[in-house]
C-alpha cells in the first residue's frame, strides 16, 4: 500500500479513511473519477490503494455509530424510520462532520432538519445543550463585551404541543428504545404537531442532566436571537422589539446575565446551527 | 524535564511484569481481576496499566489499586497526538487529576487516531498513523505538549490496524517519532506482528531501524485470525492465544531493549487461570533476574 507521499496531508487521509469505513458508497466514490473537493490528489491516490475488503472487517462499526445517534435522538428516528436515519452515513453532512472535526450526533440533527418536525428539532436542541452548544464554531468577533445565549441552554420555537408529544412518544418507545426501534424500522404513522407555536428551553445541568420546560415567547425569541455573540446594544434593541420597555431593558439584560441565561463573551466562538440538511 | 530522554530514562523505575485494564473491564463475566492476580502471583501483576478515557475517569478497581499504593502506568485512550485541539485545557486538567490519583510511572498510549471528528460519543476508534514524514512533526509536538501538560514521560505506542498507509516502515516511523519528540517508546509486539503480516513482511523486518535503547515498555497479547471475503487478518482480541509471530517479536525485542522497564500482558477479558500460562511464558523470556529487581 505504498504511494508517493509527497504533499500528503495525513489528517486528510485519516479523515477520508474514517468516512470510507462508515460509508462504503464513499469508498466507491474515492475509487471513482468524480470530483471530491475534500480530498487532495495525493491523499485520494493513497486511499485508492486500500483493499476494499479491509474496510469491512469490523461489520458492526456503522451499527455502533448509528446506535449512538438513536440513543440521543430516538423519537426522531422513530418518526423518520431507522432506515432513513441510517442514510445519514451516506450524506455530505457526515463527511462535513468528519473533515470539519465536528460532532456526528449534531451533524445528524442538522441533517435531519425539519424531517421529524419540532420533535426532531427538540432532540437536536437537547444534543446541543448536552455538548454545551458545541456545534460548528464560527462568527466570533474580536474585542468588545459581547453577549450570547448560554451554551448550556438551547432555546427553541416549536409547534404547539411538541414537548408533550415528545414525552408521550418517548414513553411509547419504552424502557429500551433501541430494542423498540430495532423491531420497527419503518417510520411511525403518527406525525408530530405542526401548527401553532410553543416556546421551549432545554438546559443542561452541571451533571449533564437535561431540564426541559416552556418559557415566554419574548424570552425564548431573545435567546434565539443571541445564538451568536452580539453587542449589548443589539441585544437591547432585540429586547425592545420583543416588547420590553426601553427604560427597563438594561436591568432585564443584567438579570438574564445574572441568571446565566445570557453569558458575556469577548469575541468567543459561538455555536451555529449550520449543518448540511437532509435532501 | 531536563536532559535528553536517554539521560532521563535512567530515572524511570523498573515496573516488571504487569497487567492492563480499562474502565469496567473486570465487570464483564469471567474477566480478570488484577488485584486477585496480584494476590495469586505477585510477579505477574507488578503494576497495573490503566486505560483511561478522561470522560469516563477511573473505575473502582483502578482507584482501589492506586489507593493501595501499587504501581501504575496511565494508558490514554482518547488523544489524537497530532491534533493540538485535543490537548485543550479542560481535557488536560481532567487528565492531570486522574494522573494525580494514579501516580503513574509514565503515560503511554497508541500514537494513532483515537476519534474521528470531535472527541464525542460514538466517535471513538483506533487507526494507525499515516506512515509518512509529514505525520511525524505534529505528532512529536503533541507528545512534547502532553509531556509538559502532565509532567510525565509520554511513550507513544504502535497501534494495531487492518489498513496501513504511507511510504515508511512502521518501525522507521516510530524511530523518527521518538527522535523528534525526544521520548521513549512502547512497542506492542502483537500490533507489530499484525503490521508485518498485513504488509507481507517477516516478523523482524525493520528491526534494525528502531533505536531500541528508547524502548521502555513492551506489550504482549493474544490474537486470532479472522477472514472477511477471503482476506485473512489478525484480530487483536487480547485473548490467551499468542500468535507465533508475536513470540518471535517478543524475544527479539527483549534481547535488544536494554532500557526495558515494563512488560504488559494484555488479557483483561479472560479468567485468571487462563491467563497464567501467558505470564509464565513471558517471564521465561525475560533476562535472568530482571523480574527480581522490579519495583525497587
Q: Which residue has the higher pLDDT, A268 or B3?
A: B3
pLDDT band at A133 (very low <50, low <70, confident <90, very high): very low
Nearest to A44 by CA among A12, A90, A92, A18: A12
Q: Which three cell numbers stand for residue A84?
A: 432513513
A-to-B residue pairs, Cβ atoms closer than 8 angstroms:
106
Q: Tell me the chain B residues in contact with residue A107 when contact means C-beta distances shorter than 8 Å.
A: 117
What residue in B sits closest to A65 (Cα-Cα)?
B122
The answer to whether the Cβ–Cβ distance between B162 and A57 falls below 8 Å is yes
Residue in chain B lying closest to A12 (CA):
B130
Question: Residues 256 to 295 of B: which have CB under 8 A from any A CB?
Answer: none
Between positions 26 and 55 of B, the ones with CB within 8 A of A are: none
Residue among B206, B180, B120, B190 nearest B157 (CA)? B190
Task: Provide the pLDDT confidence category of residue B16 given band limits of 50, 70 and 90.
Answer: very high
Q: Would you call B118 an interface residue with chain A, using a CB distance cutoff of 8 Å? A: yes
* B296: in domain: no
Residue A275 pLDDT > 70: no
Cβ distance B125 to A18 less than 8 Å, yes or no, reads yes
Q: Is B205 exposed, middle or buried (0-12, 13-18, 19+ CB in 10 A)?
A: middle
With a CB-CB cutoff of 8 Å, which residues 68-97 of chain A face chain B?
68-69, 72, 97
Instruction: Quote the domain boundaries for residue B47.
Output: 5-285
Q: Are strands B231-235 and B262-266 parallel, antiparallel or unpaired?
A: unpaired
* Mean residue pLDDT across chain A: 89
Q: Please tell me the predicted confidence (pLDDT) of residue A134.
A: 37
Residue of B nearest to A48 (CA): B165
| A182 touching B (Cβ < 8 Å) | no
Q: Using a CB–CB cutoff of 8 Å, tell me whether B232 touches chain A.
A: no
Collapsing DSSP to helix, strand or coil, A62 comes out as helix
pLDDT score, position A135: 32
Say whether residue B2 is in contact with chain A using an 8 A CB cutoff: no
Report CB contact under 8 Å: A4, B167.
yes
**Looking at residue A266, what is its pLDDT?**
67
In angstroms, the CA A85 to CA A78 distance is 9
User: In whole angstroms, what is the distance from residue A230 CA to residue A245 CA?
Assistant: 20
Which of A2, A54, A102 minimises the CB distance to B167?
A2
Q: Answer yes or no: do A68 and B83 touch at CB < 8 A.
A: no
Count CB atoms within 10 A of the CB of residue B284: 7
| Contacts A98 to B, Cβ<8 Å | 116-117
CB-nearest to A101 from B85, B130, B133 is B85
Residue A269 in contact with partner chain B when CB distance is under 8 A: no
Residue labelled with grid coordinates 482476506: B231
Decide: helix, strand or coil at residue A9: coil
| Other beta carbons within 10 Å of A36 | 17
- 3-state DSSP assignment of residue B107: strand
Per DSSP, the residues of A119-141 read HHHHHHHHHHHHTTT-SEEE---
- Give yes or no for residue A19 having a pLDDT over 80: yes
B82, B120, B226 ranked by CB distance to A105: nearest:
B120
The grid coordinates listed for B292 are 527480581
Residue B173 falls inside a structural domain: yes
Return the DSSP state at B95.
Answer: H
Facing A5 at nearest CB: one of B132, B162, B228 = B132
> Measuring CA to CA, which residue among A179, A223, A217, A227 is closest to residue A196?
A217
Q: If you average pLDDT over residues B111-122, what whole number do you get?
A: 95
Q: Which residue of A has its CA nearest to B226?
A: A57
Grid coordinates representing B167 are 511510504
Nearest Cα residue to A183 out of A167, A194, A172: A172
Write down the H helix ranges in chain B: 5-8, 34-40, 60-67, 89-102, 133-150, 170-181, 189-199, 244-256, 272-285
State which residue of chain B sits closest to A68, comparing Cα positions: B122
Question: Domain limits of chain A?
Answer: 10-55, 61-274
Span B235-247, pLDDT tens digits: 999 999 999 999 9
Cα–Cα distances in angstroms (integers) from residue B121 to residues A41, A114, A247, A267, B91, in the given order: 31, 23, 46, 28, 15
Handedness of CA B149, B152, B156, B160 (dihedral sign): negative
Give the pLDDT band of residue A4 (cuts 50, 70, 90).
low
Q: Which residues contact A176 (CB under 8 A, 6 or more apart)?
A: none
* Among B2, B110, B11, B38, CA closest to B275: B38
Chain A nearest C-alpha distance from B16 (Å) = 34
Q: Is the pLDDT confidence value at B26 over 90?
A: no
Which of B118, B165, B166 lies nearest to residue A101, judging by beta carbons? Answer: B118
State whether B82 and A10 contact (CB < 8 Å).
yes
Helices A104-112, A117-130: axis angle to 10 degrees equals: 160
Q: What is the pTM of this model?
A: 0.91
Confidence of residue B29 (pLDDT cuts 50, 70, 90): confident
pLDDT at A7: 81
- The answer to whether B228 contacts A18, with C-beta atoms less than 8 Å apart, is no
Residues B103-123 have a mean pLDDT of 96
| Residue A212 pLDDT exceeds 70 | yes
For position A149, what pLDDT does the model report? Answer: 94
Chain B hits for A97, Cβ within 8 Å: 117
Please give the Cα distance from A178 to A108 (Å, whole number): 17
Contact A55 B122 (CB under 8 A): no
* Chain A contact for B229 (CB, 8 A cutoff): yes
Residue A4 with chain B: CB contacts under 8 Å: 167
A 102-121 residues with CB < 8 A to B: 102-105, 107
Residues in chain A with CB shorter than 8 Å from the CB of B225 are: none
Over residues A135-176, the pLDDT tens digits come to: 333 333 333 479 999 999 999 999 999 999 999 999 999 999
Among the partner-chain residues B82, B83, B231, the one whose CB lies closest to the CB of A51 is B231
Q: How far is A107 from chain B (nearest CA, A)?
A: 11
Q: Report, as an integer, the average pLDDT of A98-123.
A: 96
Domain with residue B48: its CATH number is 3.20.20.150
Q: Are A68 and A104 within 8 A, CB to CB?
A: yes
The interface predicted TM-score of the complex, written ipTM, equals 0.94
Establish if B57 belongs to a structural domain: yes
| Nearest in space to B150 (alpha carbons), one of B83, B73, B93, B70 | B93
Whether residue A134 and residue B118 make contact (CB cut-off 8 A), yes or no, is yes
CA distance A128 to A125: 5
- For residue A6, the model assigns a pLDDT of 56
The count of domains in chain B is: 1
Mutate one of B83, B87, B112, B117 to test the A interface: name it (highest A CB count within 10 A): B117
- Would an 8 Å CB–CB cutoff place B225 in contact with chain A? no
Nearest CA distance, B132 vs chain A (angstrom): 7
Q: Which residue has the higher pLDDT, B295 or A225?
A: A225
Amino acid at each position: 500500500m505504498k504511494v508517493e507521499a509527497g504533499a500528503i496531508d495525513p489528517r486528510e487521509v485519516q479523515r477520508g479513511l474514517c468516512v470510507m469505513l462508515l460509508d462504503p458508497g464513499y469508498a466507491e466514490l474515492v475509487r471513482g473519477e468524480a470530483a471530491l473537493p475534500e480530498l487532495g490528489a495525493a491523499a485520494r491516490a493513497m486511499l485508492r490503494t486500500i483493499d476494499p475488503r479491509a474496510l469491512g472487517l469490523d461489520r458492526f462499526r456503522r451499527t455502533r455509530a448509528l446506535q449512538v445517534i438513536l440513543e440521543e435522538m430516538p423519537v426522531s428516528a422513530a418518526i423518520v424510520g431507522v432506515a432513513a436515519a441510517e442514510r445519514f452515513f451516506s450524506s455530505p453532512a457526515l463527511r462535513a462532520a468528519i473533515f470539519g472535526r465536528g460532532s456526528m450526533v449534531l451533524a445528524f440533527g442538522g441533517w435531519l432538519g425539519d424531517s421529524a418536525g419540532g420533535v426532531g428539532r427538540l432532540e437536536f436542541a437537547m444534543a446541543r445543550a448536552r455538548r454545551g452548544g458545541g456545534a460548528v464554531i464560527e462568527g466570533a468577533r474580536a474585542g468588545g463585551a459581547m453577549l450570547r445565549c448560554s451554551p448550556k441552554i438551547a432555546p427553541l420555537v416549536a409547534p404547539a404541543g411538541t414537548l408533550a408529544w415528545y414525552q408521550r412518544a418517548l414513553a411509547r418507545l419504552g424502557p429500551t428504545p433501541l430494542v423498540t426501534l430495532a423491531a420497527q424500522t419503518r417510520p411511525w404513522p403518527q406525525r408530530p404537531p405542526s401548527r401553532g407555536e410553543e416556546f421551549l428551553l432545554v438546559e443542561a445541568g452541571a451533571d449533564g442532566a437535561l431540564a426541559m420546560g416552556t418559557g415566554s415567547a419574548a424570552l425564548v425569541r431573545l435567546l434565539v436571537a443571541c445564538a451568536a455573540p452580539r453587542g449589548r446594544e443589539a441585544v437591547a434593541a432585540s429586547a425592545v422589539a420583543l416588547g420590553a420597555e426601553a427604560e427597563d431593558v438594561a436591568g432585564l439584560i443584567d438579570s438574564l446575565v445574572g441568571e446565566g441565561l445570557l453569558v458575556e463573551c469577548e469575541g468567543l466562538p459561538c455555536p451555529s446551527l449550520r449543518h448540511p440538511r437532509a435532501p | 524535564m531536563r536532559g535528553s530522554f536517554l539521560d532521563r530514562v535512567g530515572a524511570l523505575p523498573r515496573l516488571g511484569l504487569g497487567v492492563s485494564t480499562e474502565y469496567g473491564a473486570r465487570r464483564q463475566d469471567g474477566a480478570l481481576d488484577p488485584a486477585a492476580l496480584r494476590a495469586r502471583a505477585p510477579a505477574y501483576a507488578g503494576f497495573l496499566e490503566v486505560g483511561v478515557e478522561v470522560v469516563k475517569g477511573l473505575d473502582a478497581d483502578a482507584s482501589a489499586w492506586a489507593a493501595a499504593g501499587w504501581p501504575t502506568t496511565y494508558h490514554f485512550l482518547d488523544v489524537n497526538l497530532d491534533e493540538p485541539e485535543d490537548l485543550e485545557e479542560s481535557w488536560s486538567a481532567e487528565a492531570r487529576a486522574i494522573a494525580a490519583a494514579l501516580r503513574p510511572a509514565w503515560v503511554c498510549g497508541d500514537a494513532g487516531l483515537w476519534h474521528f471528528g470531535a472527541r464525542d460519543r460514538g466517535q471513538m476508534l483506533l487507526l494507525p498513523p499515516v506512515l509518512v514524514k509529514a505525520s511525524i512533526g505534529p505528532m512529536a509536538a503533541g507528545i512534547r505538549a502532553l509531556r509538559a501538560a502532565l509532567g510525565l514521560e509520554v511513550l507513544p505506542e504502535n497501534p494495531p490496524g487492518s489498513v496501513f498507509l504511507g511510504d515508511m516502515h512502521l518501525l522507521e516511523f516510530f524511530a523518527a517519532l521518538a527522535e523528534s519528540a525526544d521520548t521513549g517508546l512502547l512497542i506492542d509486539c502483537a500490533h507489530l506482528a499484525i503490521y508485518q503480516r498485513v504488509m507481507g513482511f517477516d516478523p523482524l523486518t525493520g528491526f534494525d531501524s528502531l533505536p531500541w535503547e528508547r524502548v521502555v515498555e513492551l506489550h504482549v497479547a493474544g490474537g486470532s485470525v479472522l477472514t472477511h471475503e477471503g482476506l485473512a487478518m489478525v484480530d487483536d482480541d487480547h485473548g490467551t492465544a499468542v500468535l507465533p509471530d508475536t513470540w518471535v517479536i517478543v524475544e527479539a525485542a527483549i534481547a535488544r531493549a536494554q532500557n526495558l522497564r515494563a512488560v504488559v500482558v494484555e488479557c483483561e477479558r479472560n479468567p485468571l487461570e487462563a491467563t497464567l500460562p501467558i505470564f509464565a511464558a513471558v517471564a521465561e523470556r525475560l533476562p535472568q533476574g530482571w523480574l527480581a529487581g522490579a519495583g525497587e
